[in-house]
Amino acid sequence: MKKRIYMAPSILSADLLKLKEEVRQVAENGADFIHIDVMDGHFVPNLSFGYNMVASIKRCVKTPIDAHLMINNPDQYIENYAQAGAHILTVHQEACPHLHRTVQCIHQHGMKAGVALNPATAVHVLEDIISELDLILIMTVNPGFGGQKFIRRGLQKIAAAQRMIETSGKQILLQVDGGVNRETAAEIITHGADTLVAGSAIFGAGKIAQAMRDIRAAAEDVL
Ligand code: DX5
Ligand code: ZN
C-alpha cells in the first residue's frame, strides 16, 4: 500500500497582508495541516506569531493546525494553544528539560504532541519518549528563518527516525521542516518522511496552487 504524504505549508513566508486569502488557497489546494511557526527571539533569533494567530487561522479554514513552538519554556503556553484550537503542538527537545512532562501536558490538553530536533541534535535522544509521541519533526535548517538551504545530513536523521518509529510499532508522523521544495521533496520521502513543511517554496513562489501540486507530485513520484 502506498503511504500517504501530508503537506503542511508554513505561513511564515506568506504575505501577511493577504494572509486570509493565501491560507484559503493552500487549504483549497490540498494542505493537510497549516504549519504555524512560533518564535520568541530567544530560543531562535527571530520573532513571529503567538497563539492568537492559531485562533485566527482556525476561524479562517477547517484544516488542522500544526503549531511549531520555537520558544523557551513552552510549558507556560500549552493551555493557550489548546484554547486557540491547535491540533498538533510541537515543542523542541532542546527547549524542554522535562520533555516527558511537557508531552503529557500537551496530551492532557487534548492535542497531539510533536517533538522537533535541531540539526545538531541526534535522533536517539527520543528513544525513551518515542512511544508517547504523535509526531517527530526533523529540522533540516537551523530554525529561525524561512528560505534557508536544506542541510543534507538531515536525510540520515530522517532514516534513523523512521527506523525508530517502525521499531516502536506506533503511528507517528515523521515531519521535515526547512528547505523543502520540489527538488528536495523526493529524497526526503525516500528516506522515510511522510509530512512536508514548506514555506518559501509555496508562499514565495507566486503561484501557490502550482507550487503545492509540484511538491506533492515530486514526493508521490517516488512512492
Ligand atoms: C524555520 C521554520 C520553518 C520555515 C521553513 O525556522 O520552522 O517552518 O518556515 O521555511 P522554508 O520552507 O522556506 O525553508
Ligand atoms: Zn516550522
Domain count, the chain: 1
Nearest residue by C-alpha to atom 4 in ligand 1: 146
Structural domain boundaries, residue 79: 6-220
d(CA 81, CA 1): 35
Cell of residue 190, nine digits = 525516500
CATH of the domain at 205: 3.20.20.70
- pLDDT at site 158: 98
Tell whether 57 is covered by a domain.
yes
Please give the number of the atom of ligand 1 that sits closest to the Cα of 180. 12
CA gap 168, 54 in Å, rounded: 31
Judge whether 115 lies within some domain: yes
Judge whether 1 lies within some domain: no
Residues 71-129: tens digit of each pLDDT = 999 999 999 999 999 999 999 999 999 999 999 999 999 999 999 999 999 999 999 99
Q: Angle between the 19-28 and 208-220 helix axes, to the nearest 10 degrees?
A: 40
Q: How confident is residue 190, by pLDDT bands cut at 50, 70 and 90?
A: very high
Q: Can you give the length of the chain in residues?
A: 223
Mean pLDDT of 14-29: 97
Distance in Å, CA 180 to ligand 1 centroid: 8
Q: How far is the CA of 3 from the centre of ligand 2 (A)?
A: 22
Instruction: For the chain, report the end-to-end CA distance as a whole number of angstroms.
Output: 10
Q: Is the CB of 13 under 6 A from ligand 1?
A: yes
Looking at all shown ligands, the one closest to residue 114's CA atom is: 2
